[in-house]
Structure 1
């Protein structure tokens, strides 16, 4: 009788330990890693008159390398890339502030010069950097201003990666790219994407919406093509007023 009780107790204890171990593994496996910010869109290049004409809600020194953002916190380390020529800069958000949502980020002309941006179409990619991680930069795109900013940014080190011929070829090809597209959303079902497309055409009085089949079960609703920033701006604002925020832009 005592042996039977002991066996039952051992079985129960084993089951309990196994269950606890399984719970811990599941918890670890289901732990959600923080998602870091990334976006492609157009930059607000502010100057001394930007505060006076209402583009930004604070006055900044336009002589320094300063970045503003409407979502990221002050001192958030970021990388800003010019996708057209692959030039990039490592810096951090100087201040969180408000500006038109048609822009994905704001900075002054000093950064625009470093990135060699087209001021009529200041298309950039923004990537939030994990703190205490190594940042890989392209050697031919590191300037003295960038090095100064990199030294102050909260990362462990800056690693230089020399540009290859392949990158040069890609940069050359990118010059042929002309059109911008607004990514509205991805859908599993084609019908769902088309239903929203028809509603947006009706609500915006604009027919410039298309559904692109990416895979068998992934359909992307976009607006475009647009030749430049000015032609894209009005539809972006219309979509924003309908509740579509932080829309990504890509070139093709």
Structure 2
């Protein structure tokens, strides 16, 4: 009897030990729009940190400084791993800040820069190796002749991108009653005179679901100002709909 008890104890201890070591740390993973850094937003104090658009730089406000971030373009599966060198605030509409050099590297659509973000967990030797590579890449990119640097807003002879058919909408709020949506629309129009109220409309999808929308916008950048105004007015976590 004692022998059986000892065997059972060993088996249970082994199972418990295996369980404790099979619980890896989870890493940050999200999908959303990338904010493309531009000097005018910095000068207008929309963002407080200055970046170099000719350098491969990213900033994520939720990940710690020094974290490695993998940015993926889901359209073509191009990816790049960069270090979160600076933490900067940017509009909540966006998931990450990137420079135009990163935009060009990933071949992102500037009107609809949708990306996937994954935090990379690696050992110290990997981090040191990557840091050296980042410095070499930045040095090469920064010292390249102007005619070889192909950034969208600098190159005058680049081929025009295909016209995007994407239509983007802000889902301001959803109601069960159309009257409630109308009341909110009137209040927003009255209290936010600088908002493009002509873009605001009401759409009933089902008998019990009515949405107050703004749009269409042909790019995220054109939508940005209206989104920020609505957010400052008190709306939080507004959804974005494409081709509504």
TM-score of the aligned structures, taking structure 2 as reference length: 0.53
TM-superposition CA deviations, 1:135-158 (whole Å, max 9, x none): xxxxxxxxxxxx953977xxxxxx
The structure 2 residue matched to 1:121, chosen from 112, 115, 118, is 112
2-structure distance, mates of 1:38, 1:233: 27
Q: Could you say which residue in structure 1 is the equivalent of 2:86?
A: 95
Assess, with a 3 A threshold, how the Cα gap between structure 1 residues 50 and 244 changes in structure 2: closer, same or farther: closer
Assess, with a 3 A threshold, how the Cα gap between structure 1 residues 225 and 18 changes in structure 2: closer, same or farther: farther
The structure 1 residue matched to 2:134, chosen from 140, 149, 153, is 149
2:10 match: secondary structure: helix
The structure 1 residue matched to 2:31, chosen from 20, 36, 40, is 40
Matches within 5 A, 1:100-249: 100-131=91-122, 149=134, 178=166, 198=175, 228=218, 229=220, 230-231=222-223, 244=237
Assess, with a 3 A threshold, how the Cα gap between structure 1 residues 79 and 26 changes in structure 2: closer, same or farther: closer
2-structure distance, mates of 1:107, 1:45: 5
The structure 2 residue matched to 1:13, chosen from 6, 12, 16, is 6
Equivalent residues of 1:68, 1:107 under 8 A apart: yes
Query: Displacement of 1:235 after TM fit?
Result: 6.3
Query: Displacement of 1:224 after TM fit?
Result: 10
2:122 match: secondary structure: coil
Query: Displacement of 1:98 after TM fit?
Result: 1.2
Unaligned residue ranges in structure 1 (runs of 5+):
1-6, 133-146, 153-173, 184-195, 212-222
1-structure distance, mates of 2:116, 2:29: 7
1-structure distance, mates of 2:81, 2:177: 38
Assess, with a 3 A threshold, how the Cα gap between structure 1 residues 207 and 108 changes in structure 2: closer, same or farther: same
1-structure distance, mates of 2:89, 2:215: 28
Query: Displacement of 1:70 after TM fit?
Result: 0.8
2-structure distance, mates of 1:75, 1:130: 11
Stretch of structure 1 that moved more, 62-71 or 108-117: 108-117
2-structure distance, mates of 1:73, 1:225: 35
1-structure distance, mates of 2:85, 2:204: 36
2-structure distance, mates of 1:86, 1:200: 43
Q: Could you say which residue in structure 2 is the equivalent of 1:65?
A: 56
TM-superposition CA deviations, 1:207-233 (whole Å, max 9, x none): 66979xxxxxxxxxxx99965424587
Query: Displacement of 1:250 after TM fit?
Result: 7.8
2-structure distance, mates of 1:69, 1:200: 39
Query: Displacement of 1:130 after TM fit?
Result: 3.6
Assess, with a 3 A threshold, how the Cα gap between structure 1 residues 200 and 66 changes in structure 2: closer, same or farther: farther
Task: State the number of aligned residues.
Answer: 185
